[in-house]
Amino acid sequence: MPASRRDFLQTAGATALALATAREARGETLTAAPGEIVTPYFGRKPLARGTDGVAVTSNPHASQAAIDILKAGGNACDAALAASVVQTVTEPHMTTITGMLSMLYFDAASGKLSYLNGGMNAPLAPLVGWSPGDLATGRGAGVPGWWGGFEAAHARFGSRPRPELMRAAISYARDGFPIYPFLYAEMFAMLDTIGMTPTGRSIYMPQGALLPPGAILKQVEAAETLERLAAEGNRYWKGEFARAYSEAVKKAGGVITPEDYERYEVRWVEPAHGTYRGYDVYGSPPPDNGGTHIIESLNMLEQLDLQRMGPPTASGETLYWMNRIVNETYLEGAKHTDPATHDVPVDFIVSKEYAAMRLKLMRMTPPKPVSPAPPPGSNHVTVIDKRGNVATILHSVMSLPWQNGLFAKGVSIAASGAHFFRIMPLPGERATVYVAPTMILKEGRPVLAAGSPSVGLLQNIIQNTVNILDFGVPVEESVLRPRFGGPSTTVPGANYIEVDVDEKVRDAAAKLGARWFVTSPWHFMNGTYEGIHIDSATRVASACADPRRCGMAFAV
């Protein structure tokens, strides 16, 4: 990320945090009254607890949409899908229906977990001479899986009509909503591309200049697209929309055709499975390999005496090993290709034997240097309903927002090919990405369901999981604790770490070999924990949105 863009976003985030802190100091409510939507802000969020349903997302508009669906009788899948499509409208800097959508789902009636891979494909036509410069052109667009994921999840687990699930999103697109600081910061940061086309200018620059914070952002053409999808589904998606998308991409040098849309299929696969200190851990399997990365990391952490060492905020030894384990798991993951096209030994990758061997080798060698991760841009949604069904969804633009400046039918075209640089898929095949919807069960019942967007999603999930399971930290305290993050996009070979991690702890980890890029507190690059903790005895669900972005948790 360019320094100017990073500095601007940090300033805008600090401003939003200061405003929220001032509101809290004045005793103003940070929760929504019935029918009211909290203005999205960075900073401390309230705890949500309940037995009839809880939703946590990275945007209060989306969380409210999920709760409204639960109150109307919908289940966790319905609510999570409703929230996800709202986010494509109210968080266009983080997600779009031309990106991807994957879901881990627990069905309370059967006690079974299912994983839906709605990732993006590479085009059928080979991307000869693929390079970073392609992300600013139509060649950087992938074959989107977002709508396929939405349709497949709804068909298998949904219980409410599709138009009902999309009603809130259509309303936000047609009638608009106020531009909040984080959205404006991203709009400003991408000013070079956001107004390249007549569509982009009509949405974000209707008077010739960028709309300011507080202005009403309307996306009328996108509303029409969502209405068509609600009414016609795949018939519209693989027909008129596919033709419009392909035409826009082709004009910008891309190679996607309607045949790519017609050929695309979602995948229902068995989740990856492991154990951690008596818990069952389930996560996304390759090619959505973030879930296996979580299991791999927990397998190695299980071999350490964390109770003796202490949590990563208090122990340099824990901080060093946790950071190193996640770093090297991520680096090794660049070799884990798509099981549909390659022989990937998933069972061995998540085994205790492999973890023991890896940790032994790590003790004998210095840390491997980390390399920068793809830029941030994604959302996570987690919902539990009163029946105990749980849905946790990662969906994403998979890149910087508006990176190519392209639109189709009022919807931005994601430069999702950013993830082709980690592992280039075969033509027409699925991309490998490290998204990580995760659930942890005890005696067959969920106790923790979570995920995170952003570069630091793996580090985020691991730190919060250990806080909650190993040290009994309440979820509302865990999300507030300072943390380390993923590979820095500014200082090669270093990891983000928040300045309020005690300097002595940071220095102790550095002496062991960690390298840090110290950032402001509650840094947005360190992910946001969209997690729900369910008390094993009372079955009361608790969630608290992460202060690092604009999320909110609500309960029925």
pLDDT tens digits, 234-287: 999 999 999 999 999 999 999 999 999 999 999 999 999 999 999 999 999 999
Burial code of 175-193, b = ≥16 C-beta within 10 A, e = fewer?
ebbebbbbbbbbbbbbeeb
- Tokens representing 6 are 């990073």
Residue 346, domain member (yes or no): yes
pLDDT at 457: 93
| Residue 224 near residue 89, CB atoms below 8 Å | no
Residue 137, domain member (yes or no): no
Query: 492 falls in which pLDDT band (50, 70, 90)?
Result: confident
What pLDDT digit, counting tens, does each position of 58-70 carry? 999 999 999 999 9
Which residues lie below 8 Å from residue 201, measured CB to CB, with a gap of 6+? Answer: 195, 208
Please report, for residues 36, 94, 384, the alpha-carbon distance to residue 397 in angstroms, rounded to integers and kept in the order given: 28, 6, 25
Report d(CA 547, CA 17) in Å as an integer: 8
Instruction: Domain count for the chain, please give it.
Output: 1
Q: Taking Cα atoms as reference points, which of 344, 453, 436, 351 lies closest to residue 93?
A: 453
What pLDDT digit, counting tens, does each position of 296-354 carry? 999 999 999 999 999 999 999 999 999 999 999 999 998 899 999 999 999 999 999 99
Model confidence at 219: pLDDT above 80: yes
Residue 7, domain member (yes or no): no
- Tokens representing 299 are 């397998």
Burial code of 509-520, b = ≥16 C-beta within 10 A, e = fewer?
beeeebbbbbbe
Report d(CA 313, CA 300) in Å as an integer: 19
- What's the rounded mean pLDDT across residues 461-471? 98
Range of the domain at 462: 269-374+440-555
- What's the rounded mean pLDDT across residues 87-97? 97
pLDDT at 377: 77
pLDDT at 422: 87
Model confidence at 5: pLDDT above 90: no
Query: 490 falls in which pLDDT band (50, 70, 90)?
Result: confident
Length of the chain: 556
Report d(CA 276, CA 299) in Å as an integer: 7
Query: 436 falls in which pLDDT band (50, 70, 90)?
Result: very high
Low-confidence winner among 24-28, 46-50, 312-316, 479-483 (lowest mean pLDDT): 24-28
* Sheet bearing 47-50, strands edge to edge: 47-50, 541-544, 532-534, 445-450, 438-442, 279-283, 272-276
pLDDT at 203: 98
pLDDT at 281: 98
Q: Phi, psi at residue 43, to the nearest 5°?
A: 125, -175
Residue 183, domain member (yes or no): no
Residue 54, domain member (yes or no): no
- Kindly report whether the peptide bond that precedes residue 547 is cis, defined as omega within 30 degrees of 0: no
Higher pLDDT residue, 432 or 13? Answer: 432
- Number of helices and strands in the chain (H, E): 20, 21
| Residue 379 near residue 320, CB atoms below 8 Å | no
Q: Taking Cα atoms as reference points, which of 546, 493, 537 lies closest to residue 517?
A: 493
Report d(CA 336, CA 286) in Å as an integer: 7
Model confidence at 31: pLDDT above 50: no
CA 85, 86, 87, 93 dihedral sign is positive
Report d(CA 320, CA 305) in Å as an integer: 14
pLDDT at 376: 65
Q: What is the pTM of this model?
A: 0.93
- What's the rounded mean pLDDT across residues 447-459? 94
pLDDT at 472: 97
Low-confidence winner among 328-342, 372-386, 438-452 (lowest mean pLDDT): 372-386
| Residue 11 near residue 5, CB atoms below 8 Å | no
Query: 36 falls in which pLDDT band (50, 70, 90)?
Result: low
Model confidence at 122: pLDDT above 50: yes
Helix (H) or strand (E) run with residue 180 in it = none
What pLDDT digit, counting tens, does each position of 153-162 carry? 999 999 999 9
We report the CATH number of the domain holding residue 468 as 1.10.246.130
| Residue 414 near residue 112, CB atoms below 8 Å | no
pLDDT at 9: 41
Question: 362: helix, coil or strand?
Answer: helix
Model confidence at 22: pLDDT above 60: no
Strands 495-498, 516-519: parallel, antiparallel or unpaired by DSSP? Answer: parallel
pLDDT at 477: 98
Looking at residue 337, its amino acid is: T
Full DSSP string of 498-531: ETTS-HHHHHHHHHHT--EEEE-SS-GGG-----
Report d(CA 375, CA 154) in Å as an integer: 30
Q: Where are the beta strands (DSSP E) in 322-436?
A: 378-385, 390-396, 407-408, 411-412
pLDDT at 374: 62
For the chain, give the percent of residues with pLDDT over 90: 88
Residue 47, domain member (yes or no): no
Model confidence at 423: pLDDT above 80: yes
Residue ranges of alpha helices (H) inside 59-197 are: 60-71, 76-90, 146-157, 162-175, 181-189, 191-194
Residue 201, domain member (yes or no): no
Provide the 10 A C-beta neighbour count for residue 302: 17
- Tokens representing 384 are 């539990």
Question: 175: helix, coil or strand?
Answer: helix
Mean pLDDT of the chain: 93
Low-confidence winner among 441-450, 489-498, 528-537 (lowest mean pLDDT): 489-498
Helix (H) or strand (E) run with residue 277 in it = none
- Tokens representing 410 are 């009022």
Residue 459, domain member (yes or no): yes
Model confidence at 25: pLDDT above 90: no
Low-confidence winner among 2-11, 84-93, 118-127, 134-143 (lowest mean pLDDT): 2-11
